Amino acid sequence: MARELGVPADPATVQTVQVTIDALVIPKVKPFWRAVLGYQDRADSPEDLIDPRGRGASFWFQQMDAPDPERNRIHIDVWVPPDQAEARIAAAIAAGGHLVTDEYAPAWWTLADAEGNLADIATTRSRD
């Protein structure tokens, strides 16, 4: 395609980013991440969530048979407009998550899904 357009091709700049979350019970944690991110299910893959705006990385939920203490845990920061933070937090809690701390609000709130994976809902506001 680049050759047809007369521009140099740079394969090193092509990438896809996906976040993988290991989960023991995918249906318990996936709704939390759908709510936190404002994503939707990918129609052809029940394990994936995608950004309906096409800007963010996709999320894939990998089935685990047992907890593995050797694996890294994840932490995702999700930046939203300040007036959207409370609604996003409420949706995540309603989807099975819980508030870990609001110590840094309104700059960010730390939430966790049912298995303890963390997400911060962050805004451009500074700490009070």
Span 4-36, pLDDT tens digits = 888 887 765 656 778 989 889 999 999 999 999
- Of 31 and 3, the structure prediction assigns the larger pLDDT to 31
CA 73 to chain centre: 13
For residues 119 and 72, give the distance between their C-alpha atoms in angstroms, rounded to a whole number. Answer: 15
Domains defined for the chain, CATH in brackets: 17-66+74-122 (3.10.180.10)
CA 72 to chain centre: 16
Two tokens at 31? 């709704």
- Per-residue pLDDT averaged across 42-71, rounded? 86
Span 89-104, pLDDT tens digits = 999 999 999 999 999 9
Backbone angles phi, psi at 4, to 5 degrees: -65, -30
The burial of 54, by beta-carbon neighbours within 10 Å (0-12 exposed, 13-18 middle, 19 or more buried), is given as exposed
How many percent of the chain have pLDDT more than 90? 55
Two tokens at 61? 């939920």
